[in-house]
Chain A
Amino acid sequence: MDREGSLTAVEHCQTESEERPAPSLNILTGQTTITVALAGQPNVGKSTVFNLLTKLNQHVGNWPGKTIEQKMGTYRQNGLTIHIVDLPGTYSLTANSLEEVIARDYIIKERPDVVVAVVDAAILERSLYLVAELLPLPAPVIVGLNMMDVAEREGRHVELEVLQAALGVPVVPMVATKAQGVRELAETIDRLVHGDIPYQPRCPQIRDDHRAVLDEILALVGPHVPAPYPTDWVALKLLEGDEEITAMMRGVLSDAVWEQVHDILMAHDDALVAVASGRYDWIGRMIRAAVVRPQVGQIGLTERLDCWATHPVWGMGLLAGILALVFWLTYTIGAPLQDALDTYVVGALADWAGALLASGPEWASGLVVDGIIGGVGTVITFLPILVIFFAALGLLEDIGYMARAAYVMDRFMHLMGLHGKSFLPLFLGFGCNVPAIVGSRVIESRRARLLTIMVAPLVPCTGRMMVIAFLTPVFFGRAATLVSWGLIALNLVVLALSGIVINRIAFRGERAAFIMELPLYHIPNWRTIGLLVWQRSLDFLRKAGTVILVISVIVWALSALPAGDVETSYLAQFGRLLAPLGALMGMSWRMMVALLTSFVAKENSVATLGILYGTGEEEATLAAILGAALTPAAALAFLIVQMLFIPCVATVAAIWQETHSARWTLFNLAFLLVVSFGTGIVVYQGARLLGWGI
């Protein structure tokens, strides 16, 4: 692609007082494809704009080498193909987080032809901050002024012409939730790249008291800034103390020059506040010029709802009620669907494949029926439950409630060295641990994200709940409900304690800062929620078809080789080796093997017990035999270990992918093994000492 046009056309920013004829940039030099980057702060409706522009013509992946989601899409207009790259939602472009580095690196290194900055008209002051950071970068900016309806409703009128003149860049009013302004945005992009609109951005300046220092740095580093970084921008980022840019310049500057720069920076280590103040002063001038009746702290509906939603007592009650409703929905609608999927689709598929392969070698049908369909198929049956979960959480997120849930949970998460934001992914874990691990991406600091991932497998997922639902009545009869609740409570207690311990040992008790915006409540946008559910479900299925498939086959092979049955398999041999460990918990080697097979999928425990006790899948017979084979103390120990045991392969695969670290993954497995067996042994031996249930 020819980038020359955009390189030369974007002039340096002007100071606001400078007057010169407005240049226009003609980016198109015969090209038929352009790239548009979509930038915006969180909660400004950026993804809605993205969905409207690209329709379903989009692709979700990861940024190269990163675990940050990347969305790309395409649309065509006037014979031009427009590629849209959705940048991560960020408040600024300082290297505070991986998202911010990705966003600015993309603009500087990939040079999109246009950057569309989506801005929330209702909170113009804060959301123009990102625009202040985007203007000095070498790509022309169009401001998409979204949520015009909300702003008007709150009595804030934005004078578009004035704002446009003050910024010096095109401004397009939008109400993305009602699909208003999207066509105008596309037209503005088209006109800008054809050079039909003047482009003359007026950039913010640093606060006066630091201008001389900035010039000094600029003079020192100017000649050494590597391409494609803009010189002024690098000088500003140095002064802001940006770690990434500092490291980069340290590498290219000679020691003598670096000494000088370093001394200046040391003398002005508060400069980042001066830079931010300069941007907010600039924003203040825009707002005073263009907004009629700037708001006077009137928030209306949001304020009234928050009296309840963020209250330490009522907010907790509301959260508990909402969670109960989500669970109720999941189990009344999701569980029957899962059963149906299991019987009529996965079960039927297994029967069909079994019959088809009956004439072939035994290993082939074992591989397909028990390995692939048994592993991947079972994981897929969780999809209905996950869809309900994703939809419920997507709705709560879209209306703005999730930030409130995180806020009221912060007190509790605090105890574990986590903050409120970790609550959201952990809650997702009740459906399935895999999306919980992936969902931990919402947490900014790597430390808090790792800690969340480490404790997430202790959230009792639906798979484990199903085993409990089957086995507790077998062992405990009428006390089953009580025991089940006790097991779930135990899991949560162990989760909290593990958080405290891992935080102390691995992170020396550090705690990530809790700084979070509470967005205004919004009417939900069904399209956005629908797309979110669709993409997350696809992502889950993709995992099931790749990583989970491979590991399922490996574990199946271990449970079938060398002779083709579980009793003599490598896995069983390993289980026998573990018999002394099992003896400490009153469990036979069969129970140990059942635990090991739960690694493929949690529900396998029951099936394995069936095979090992020779009852097949007859649940009634199995119940009778199991009830007689185990003492209550051993049964309780077994259920506890089952609940706290290492997660299924799907979750382990997710942990590995998200942490990018074999070390952390192995640590997690070892930790959970110690915790589960440790708790099992303590409970069994304790019961023995007290003479209970023997």
Chain B
Amino acid sequence: MSHSTTTLSNLAPGEVGVVRELAGGWGFMSRLATLGFTPGAKLTMVQNFGHGPLIVSIRGTRIALGRGEAAKVVVTKE
């Protein structure tokens, strides 16, 4: 299994990733960590058209993120 590091905004729909790091300010990190984006958490990209906001499924819920926000979540592809 290959483990390439990328950002959440680069995951294609259906791809599974594992959160590695949150690269943003305190407020941003805190809000995302609260919603379950903690290191080691598994997520699945649900919708990503390559532009505009996207939807990920994490810890049993679907979260919509702006593209800029998703670019600050470092993940490894499973």
Please give the residue numbers on chain A whose beta carbons come within 8 Å of chain B beta carbons, in ascending order.
Answer: 91-92, 94, 96, 122-126, 129, 240-241, 243, 272-273, 276-277, 280, 295, 297, 299, 302-303, 306, 310, 312, 403, 406-407, 410-411, 414, 419-420, 511, 513-519
Contact = CB atoms under 8 A, between A and B. Distances in A.
Given A310-B47, A410-B52, A517-B62, A126 B22 contact: no
Interface in B13-58: 22, 26-36, 38-41, 44, 46-47, 49, 52-53, 55, 57
A96 B34 contact: yes
Given A126-B60, A312-B52, 17 more contacts: A91-B35, A92-B34, A124-B60, A126-B61, A129-B34, A276-B34, A277-B38, A280-B36, A410-B52, A410-B53, A414-B66, A419-B66, A513-B68, A514-B66, A515-B65, A517-B35, A517-B61
B24 to A, nearest CB: 8
B64 A411 contact: no
Q: Which 4 A-B pairs have the closest CB atoms?
A: A514-B66, A276-B33, A92-B34, A518-B62
B39 A277 contact: yes
Contacts of A96: 27, 30-31, 34
| Chain A contact residues: helix, strand, loop or mixed | helix
A580 B31 CA distance: 54
A123 B52 CA distance: 26
Most interface-central of A125, A241, A411, A515 (chain B CB within 10 A): A515
A228 B37 CA distance: 32
Contacts of A312: 49, 52
Contacts of A124: 60
Contacts of A306: 46-47, 55, 62
Contacts of B44: 297
A241 B33 CA distance: 13
Contacts of B12: none
A272 B31 contact: no
29 contacts: A91-B34, A91-B35, A94-B30, A124-B60, A125-B36, A129-B34, A241-B30, A273-B22, A273-B29, A273-B39, A277-B33, A280-B59, A295-B60, A297-B57, A299-B62, A306-B47, A310-B55, A403-B64, A410-B52, A513-B27, A513-B66, A514-B69, A515-B63, A515-B64, A515-B65, A516-B63, A518-B61, A518-B62, A519-B61
A294 to B, nearest CB: 8
A513 B64 CA distance: 11
Contacts of A513: 27-28, 31, 66, 68-69
A367 to B, nearest CB: 51
A411 B54 CA distance: 11
B36 A129 contact: yes
A189 to B, nearest CB: 27
Contacts of B61: 123, 126, 517-519
Contact of B63 (A122, A243, A517): A517
B63 A511 contact: no
B64 A126 contact: no
A145 to B, nearest CB: 15
A515 B59 contact: no
B38 to A, nearest CB: 4
A240 B38 CA distance: 14
A692 B40 CA distance: 67
Contacts of B40: 277
Contacts of A240: 30
Given A125-B59, A272-B26, A410-B53, A516 B69 contact: no
Given A129-B34, A280-B38, A514 B55 contact: no
Given A126-B59, A273-B22, A411-B53, A516 B36 contact: no
A429 B6 CA distance: 41
B61 to A, nearest CB: 5
B64 A514 contact: yes
Contact of B34 (A94, A123, A297, A310): A94
Nearest to B24: A513
Contact of A126 (B36, B39, B69): B36
Contact of A241 (B26, B68, B69): B26
Contacts of B30: 92, 94, 96, 240-241, 272, 276
A642 B57 CA distance: 47
Contacts of B59: 123, 125-126, 280
A91 B63 CA distance: 13
Most interface-central of A92, A276, A411, A511 (chain B CB within 10 A): A276
A428 to B, nearest CB: 21
Contact of B53 (A272, A302, A420): A420
Nearest to A133: B34
Nearest to A93: B34
Contacts of A516: 63-64
A514 B27 CA distance: 12
B69 A280 contact: no
Most interface-central of B27, B55, B64 (chain A CB within 10 A): B64
Given A407-B55, A410-B66, A273 B33 contact: yes
A521 to B, nearest CB: 11
A518 B52 contact: no
Contacts of A419: 66
Contacts of B41: 280
Most interface-central of B34, B35, B63, B68 (chain A CB within 10 A): B34
A289 B32 CA distance: 26
Contact of B64 (A129, A272, A280, A407): A407
B58 to A, nearest CB: 8
Contact of A299 (B34, B35, B49, B57): B57
Contacts of B66: 410, 414, 419, 513-515
Contacts of A91: 31, 34-35
Nearest to A514: B66
A278 to B, nearest CB: 9
Contacts of B47: 306, 310
Nearest to B58: A126
A515 B55 contact: no
Contacts of A122: 60
Given A277-B38, A312-B49, A411-B52, A125 B32 contact: no
Contacts of A406: 64
Nearest to A409: B53
B32 to A, nearest CB: 7
Contacts of B31: 91, 96, 513, 515
A241 B28 CA distance: 12
A102 to B, nearest CB: 16
A407 B53 contact: yes
Contacts of B32: 515
A596 to B, nearest CB: 42
B20 to A, nearest CB: 11
A310 B47 CA distance: 9
A503 B5 CA distance: 35
